[in-house]
Structures are given as C-alpha cells and as structure tokens.
Structure 1
Amino acid sequence: MATSKVTVQFPCPVEQVWQTVTDLAHTAWRSDLAWVEVLDETHFVEHTKSGYATNFTVTDCKALRHWAFTMENGNMSGSWEGIFEAAEGGTRLTCTETVNAKRWWMRPVVPGYLKRQQKLYLDDLRRELLRHS
C-alpha cells in the first residue's frame, strides 16, 4: 500500500475550489481524462485518454469541507480524501490518496506513480482556478 498526502494553497475562495473539484460534468481541465461517466449520486467512472476506466464510489460529501471516495480498476484499489479549508488569501486543500496495487510486480512503482498523478491533478487544478480568477 502506498499513501501520498499533499497540502496546497489556492488564491481563490473555497467555494470555487470545491465547485471545480466536485463538478463531474465539467472535467475538461483534467489533462489525463477523456471523460467522466456519472452513474448516480455516489458512483462515477473516469475514462483516461488512453481508454482506461476507473470506478469511484463517493463515501463522504460535506459541502465546502470534505469529499472522499474509494476507487478501483484492474490494476489497483484505494481511496482519496480532500479536505477544503478557507485560509488567509484563499483556500487550503489537503489531498490524501492511498493505493493498493493488485499485482505484486507493480508495488515498487506505485509510490512514484501516485506522486506523479497527484502533481498532475493539482497542477491542472491550479491552472483551471487561475484561468477563472
């Protein structure tokens, strides 16, 4: 199991960060995704540009404060949690992601992959938020 926790600051209101992160109908800002399929209020599927699908189940949603879900695909299972806090000059977002590789030979590469994916997501998010500031 690999866990990555990152805290970042954004120079915009918590409402804007929350709306951007949780709006599954508008994900064009995500450079790794082709599209998101919303199945119902707690289930969605992310489809990467390479055609890989990951299933998500929302486990907690407290507007403007906390969003958490489990995720699973053919290679891994895990969880993600976002804590949204108003901070001086904007918003503090703490993301914690835990991933379990399903194949033993993938376990050594998971920590690096996880950090790269988190960095890509947060870089994309920052670009999108600044574009609308």
Structure 2
Amino acid sequence: MATSRLKVHFPCPVEQVWNTVTDLTHTAWRSDLARVEVLDETHFVEHTQSGYATEFTVTSCEPFHFLAFTMENGNMSGAWEGVFQAAEGGTWLTCTETVRAKRWWMGPFVPGYLKRQQKRYLDDLRKELLK
C-alpha cells in the first residue's frame, strides 16, 4: 500500500475550490479524464482519456471542509481525503490518497504513479482556479 499527502495553497476562496473539486458535471479541466459518469449522489465513474474506468463512492462530505471517497478499478483500490481550510489570502487543500495494487508486481510502481497522479490533478486544479 502507498500513501501520498500533499498540501497546497490556492489564492481563491474555499467555496471556489470546493465547488470546482466537487462539480462532477464540469470536469473538462482534468487533463486525465475523458468523462465522468454520475450514477447517484454517492457513486460515480471516471473514464480516462484511454477509456479506463475507476469507480468511486463518496464516504464523507462536509461542504467546504472535508470530502472523502473510496475508489476501485481492475488494477487498484484505495481512498482519497481532501481537507479544505479557508485561510488568509485563499484556501489550503490537503489531499491524502492511499492506494493498494491488486497485482503484486505493480506494488513497486504505485508510489511513483500516485505522486504523479496527485501532482497532475493539483496542477490542473490550479490552472482551472486561476483562469
């Protein structure tokens, strides 16, 4: 199992960061996704540009403060938590992601993959928030 935690500051209100992260109908800013399929209030599926699907289940949602979900696909299972903190001059977002590879041989690659995915997501988010 691999865990990655990143804390980043965005120079915009916590409501703007929260709304961007949680709006599953507007995900064009995500460079890794082709689309998101919303199944119901707590379940959705992300489809990558190459067509790979990952299923998500929201496990906790405290608007403007905390969001958590589990995720699973053919290669991995895991969880993500986002802590949103209003601060002077913007918002702090702390993302913690834990992933477990389903195939033993993938284990050594998971930490690097996880760091790259989190960085890509947060870079995309920053671009969207600052446009």
Would you call these one fold, judging by a TM-score over 0.5? yes
After TM superposition, where is structure 1 displaced by more than 6 Å over at least 4 residues in a row? none
CA distance in 1, matches of 2:45, 2:68: 15
Aligned partner of 1:77 in structure 2 is 77
Residue in 1 that maps onto 2:5: 5
What is the SS of the residue equivalent to 1:59?
Answer: strand
Q: Distance in 2 between matches of 1:67 and 1:110?
A: 23
Aligned-pair CA distance for 1:88? 1.5
Counterpart position of 1:99:
99
Identify unmatched segments of 5+ residues in structure 2: none
* Residue-by-residue CA offset, 1:51-92 (whole Å, 9 max, x unaligned): 000000000000000000000000000000000000110000
> Equivalent pairs: percent with the same residue?
80
TM-score by length of 2: 1.00
Q: In the alignment, residue 130 of structure 2 is paired with which amino acid? A: L
Instruction: Number of aligned residue pairs: give it.
Output: 131
Q: For structure 1, list consecutive stretches of 5 or more residues without a partner in the other structure.
A: none
- How far is the alpha carbon of 1:98 from its aligned partner? 0.1
**Cα distance in structure 1, aligned partners of 2:12 and 2:105:** 41
Alignment match, 2:41: 41
Q: Within 1, Cα distance between the matches of 2:30 and 2:83? A: 19
CA distance in 2 between partners of 1:51 and 1:86 (Å): 36
Given residue 21 of structure 1, which amino acid in structure 2 is its aligned partner? V
State the alpha-carbon separation in 2 of the partners of residues 48 and 63 from structure 1. 26
2: CA distance, partners of 1:9 / 1:39: 31
Cα separation, 1, equivalents of 2:114 and 2:100: 11
For 1:129 and 1:11, how far apart are their aligned partners in 2? 9
Residue 53 (str. 1) matches residue 53 (str. 2): yes
**Secondary structure at 2:26 match in 1:** coil
TM-score after normalising by structure 1: 0.98
